[in-house]
C-alpha cells in the first residue's frame, strides 16, 4: 500500500516537473487567449475554431456547441467586432493539460448602429494536440446586467 502511494506521488511530481520545465501554464493560456482575441477582432471564425482541439466544445447559456466557426460568424453578423480577454488563473493538469479561468468583454454595434456590450467569465480546459495547446472545452457565462 505504501509502495503504491509513493509510486502515485512520484508520478504526480514528475508530471508537475514536466509542466514546469515546459513553461508557465498561464503564459501558454495567455498566448492562446491573445490569438483568440486577435482572430475575433479580425472577424475570423475559422481562426478561432483552429484554436480548438478536435471535437472541441463551446458552452454558453444557450447550451453546448461544436460548430465554433459558425457560432462566431453569428456573433459577427449580430455586430460584435471587438473582444478583450484576460486570463486570471491557470493550472497544469499533468504534462499535457491545463485549466484556466478569466474574463471577457465583447463590444460592437447592432444593425441600427447602437453600441452593444457584453462581459462575463470564462473557464476552459486545454489539451496538447499536434504539439500545441488547444481548447477542449470552454464555457462562457455573461455577467448579469445591473438592475437600475
**Alpha carbons 140 and 64: distance in angstroms, whole number:** 10
Q: Taking 50 as the threshold, does the pLDDT of residue 49 lie above it?
A: yes
pTM over 0.85, yes/no: no
Q: Residue 142: in which H helix or E strand, if any?
A: strand 132-142
Q: What is the pLDDT of residues 52-109, one digit of tens each?
A: 999 999 999 999 999 999 999 999 999 999 999 999 999 999 889 999 999 999 999 9
Q: What is the pLDDT of residue 20?
A: 43
The CATH number of the structural domain formed by 2-142 is: 3.10.450.50
As given in the structure block, the three cell numbers for residue 39 are 482572430
**Alpha carbons 59 and 41: distance in angstroms, whole number:** 20
**Alpha carbons 41 and 43: distance in angstroms, whole number:** 5
- The lowest-confidence range among 41-55, 71-85, 134-148 is 134-148
> Do 107 and 79 form a contact (C-beta atoms < 8 A)?
no
Percent of the chain with pLDDT over 70: 85
- The lowest-confidence range among 14-18, 20-24, 118-122 is 14-18
Which long-range CB contacts under 8 A does 112-120 form with residues at least 24 apart?
116/78, 116/79, 116/80, 118/80, 118/142, 119/143
Domain-wise residue ranges, the chain: 2-142
pLDDT category of residue 22 using cuts at 50, 70 and 90: low
As given in the structure block, the three cell numbers for residue 129 are 494536440
Amino acid at each position: 500500500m505504501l509502495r503504491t502511494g509513493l509510486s502515485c506521488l512520484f508520478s504526480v511530481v514528475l508530471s508537475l516537473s514536466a509542466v514546469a520545465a515546459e513553461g508557465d501554464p498561464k503564459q501558454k493560456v495567455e498566448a492562446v487567449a491573445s490569438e483568440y482575441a486577435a482572430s475575433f477582432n479580425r472577424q475570423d471564425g475559422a481562426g478561432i475554431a483552429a484554436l480548438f482541439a478536435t471535437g472541441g466544445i463551446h458552452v454558453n447559456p444557450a447550451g453546448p456547441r461544436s460548430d465554433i466557426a459558425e457560432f462566431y460568424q453569428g456573433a459577427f453578423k449580430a455586430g460584435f467586432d471587438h473582444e478583450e480577454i484576460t486570463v486570471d488563473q491557470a493550472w497544469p493538469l499533468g504534462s499535457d493539460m491545463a485549466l484556466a479561468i478569466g474574463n471577457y468583454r465583447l463590444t460592437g454595434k447592432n444593425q441600427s448602429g447602437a453600441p452593444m456590450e457584453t462581459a462575463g467569465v470564462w473557464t476552459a480546459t486545454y489539451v496538447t494536440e499536434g504539439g500545441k495547446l488547444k481548447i477542449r472545452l470552454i464555457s462562457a457565462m455573461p455577467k448579469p446586467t445591473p438592475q437600475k
